[in-house]
């Protein structure tokens, strides 16, 4: 298995984020710092030569949880945008 380094992980993740941009200036943490902090944590957990069945369950359940949270946040944003339009 190819060794994944933090810079590659951050590059790929930030490229994906450009589709849905976020105003990072509103936060006290910068974009690169946030991606590196979270990417480092993920690499620590999942960058292994081989995976046990338990590792696979944790990895897949984590991805599922993040996808569902993203889905729900997008629904809330759409609802907020719709409510803003009807109130104006």
pLDDT computed for residue 63 by the predictor: 84
Pair (6, 32) in one structural domain: yes
Is 77 within 8 Å of 51 (Cβ atoms)? no
Range of the domain at 60: 51-88
| pLDDT given for residue 15 in this prediction | 73
Whether residue 3 contacts residue 25, with contact meaning beta carbons closer than 8 Å, is answered with: no
Asked if residue 43 and residue 7 are part of one domain, the reply reads yes
Q: Average pLDDT of the chain?
A: 81
Q: Are residues 72 and 29 in the same domain?
A: no
Specify the pLDDT at position 1.
52
On whether both 5 and 38 belong to a single domain, the answer is yes
Which pLDDT score is estimated for 33?
92
Same domain, 40 and 12: yes
With a cut of 50, list the residues of the chain below it in pLDDT: none
Query: Model pTM?
Result: 0.59
Task: Report the number of distinct structural domains present in the chain.
Answer: 2
Q: Are residues 17 and 43 in the same domain?
A: yes
pLDDT at 19: 55
Q: Are residues 39 and 15 in the same domain?
A: yes
44 and 59 co-located in one domain: no
Q: Name 10's Cβ contacts closer than 8 Å, sequence gap at least 6.
A: 32, 35, 36, 39
């Amino acid at each position: 298995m190819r060794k994944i380094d933090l810079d590659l992980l951050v590059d790929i993740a930030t490229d994906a984020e450009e589709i849905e941009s976020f105003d990072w200036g509103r936060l006290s943490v910068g974009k690169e710092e946030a991606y590196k902090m979270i990417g480092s944590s993920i690499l620590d957990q999942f960058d292994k030569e081989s995976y046990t069945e338990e590792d696979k369950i944790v990895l897949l359940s984590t991805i599922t949880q993040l996808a569902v949270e993203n889905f729900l946040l997008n629904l809330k944003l759409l609802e907020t945008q719709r409510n803003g339009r009807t109130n104006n």
